[in-house]
Amino acid sequence: MNCRFNVIFMGTPDFAVPSLHTLSRAGCHVSLVVTQPDRPRGRGRKPALPPVKAAALDLGYEVIQPETIRSDAFIETIRNRRPDLLVVVAFGRILPKAVLEIPAYGAVNVHASLLPKYRGPAPIQWAIINGESATGVTTMLMDKGLDTGEILLQSEMKISPDDTSGDLHDRLAISGGDLLSETINAFHNNAIRPVPQNHAQATYAPMLTKADGHIDWTLSAEAIERFIRGMTPWPGAFTFLDQKRLIVFKASQRPADPVFLPGTIIPGFSNELRIATGNGGLAILEIQEASGKRMPIDVYLKGKPIPTGAVLR
């Protein structure tokens, strides 16, 4: 495809990078890339480039990182580029109406769900936590609402029984780039037919914080196993043994005698950490202490055995 559009791209995390590469491969004129400011990361708290900034610089694009997108100066910067399209992928901020009205063909967003389901900032995690069998990506025309604009194209993807949110994220990021290519091609061919969302069917995927990863052992083993996969790698599923924080990366459902209180470590299983839940048992397969290394449970227990009958909180 020989893209004739002048595009301004707005995005920040890894999820947005395949879409930026799509625009480059298509030959679109990306006149500007807008991303969030560098933020401190890691234990050293050193400023780190957003993944989109790193990718844009590699591609030779001009990058700006405004502290605010509502200032007259920023809006004028966008207007002066005379974009045909804004392409917005996980930018992390809601664009004001004054920005959305600038591009000739509108602002196209790539969202990691099959809208109107899972509007909001954490659609991938919540799709796994809630036990969905499939999800996907949507391109839509942005409006002033949060993921409420008219749908352009959609692509469905199955969720595997062992998918973590990290696994699904990586596949959906690539699928989002592919769907963006189809969407731009449809614009070229005047084949875009925006479809309003059915707002009555909308669901919301709220922002997650580190505190949200705390495991509730009163839930069923099935629900907790999904929760762990949905929280991996971020924000991370965790529990406490006394005052020690343990991060759980992988678990599997097991039978359990209902006499044990939820969170209790069940006796009788060597080299296994089997936990009673609100319904059934759950074997923890991979674990990590807050300052340690991720390791298989049998390796962890050899160095730091956990007594049966102890209760995880």
Q: Going along 196-262, which residue ranges are E strands?
A: 237-241, 244-254
Q: Within its chain, how far is the Cα of 5 from the centroid?
A: 28
Predicted pLDDT of residue 41: 75
Predicted pLDDT of residue 238: 98
pLDDT tens digit sequence for 189-210: 999 999 999 999 999 999 999 9
Q: Which tokens in the block code for residue 18?
A: 């395949």
Angle at 237 between CA 225 and CA 256, to 5 degrees: 35
Q: Would you say residue 39 has pLDDT above 90?
A: no
Give the C-alpha separation, 72 to 95, whole Å: 13
Predicted pLDDT of residue 47: 81
- Alpha carbon separation from 156 to 97, 135, 204, 226 (Å, rounded): 30, 6, 18, 20
The answer to whether residues 138 and 88 touch, using CB atoms and an 8 Å cutoff, is no
Residues paired with residue 156 on neighbouring β-strands, in sequence order:
136
Instruction: Please give the helix or strand (H or E) that residue 54 lies within, else none.
Output: helix 51-59
Mean pLDDT along residues 43-71:
92
Cα dihedral 294, 297, 298, 303 in deg (nearest 10): 60
Predicted pLDDT of residue 43: 67
- Alpha carbon separation from 226 to 22, 126, 140, 147 (Å, rounded): 32, 10, 29, 25
pLDDT tens digit sequence for 95-127: 999 999 999 999 999 999 999 999 999 999 999
- Alpha carbon separation from 118 to 28, 132, 204, 207, 295 (Å, rounded): 30, 11, 5, 11, 33
Q: Would you say residue 6 has pLDDT above 80?
A: yes
Helical spans, DSSP H, in 68-189: 72-80, 97-100, 123-129, 165-188
Q: How confident is the model at residue 306 (pLDDT cuts 50, 70, 90)?
A: very high
Tokens 């055995």 correspond to 305
Q: Would you say residue 44 has pLDDT above 80?
A: no
Q: How confident is the model at residue 182 (pLDDT cuts 50, 70, 90)?
A: very high
pLDDT tens digit sequence for 246-298: 999 999 999 988 889 999 999 988 788 999 999 999 999 999 998 889 999 99
Q: How confident is the model at residue 172 (pLDDT cuts 50, 70, 90)?
A: very high
What percentage of the chain exceeds 90 in pLDDT? 90
Give the C-alpha separation, 239 to 306, whole Å: 14
Q: Would you say residue 40 has pLDDT above 90?
A: no
pLDDT tens digit sequence for 60-87: 999 999 999 999 999 999 999 999 999 9
Angle at 64 between CA 63 and CA 66, to 5 degrees: 160
Q: Nearest 5°: phi and psi at 275?
A: -115, 135
Can you list the domains of the chain with their CATH numbers? 6-201 (3.40.50.170), 210-303 (3.10.25.10)
SS3 content of the chain, % helix, strand, coil (to 5): 30, 30, 45
CB atoms closer than 10 angstroms to residue 182: 16
Mean pLDDT along residues 157-177:
98
Q: Nearest-CA neighbor of 49 among 23, 19, 81, 14? A: 14
Rg of the chain over Cα atoms, rounded to whole angstroms, equals 23
Give the C-alpha separation, 8 to 235, whole Å: 31
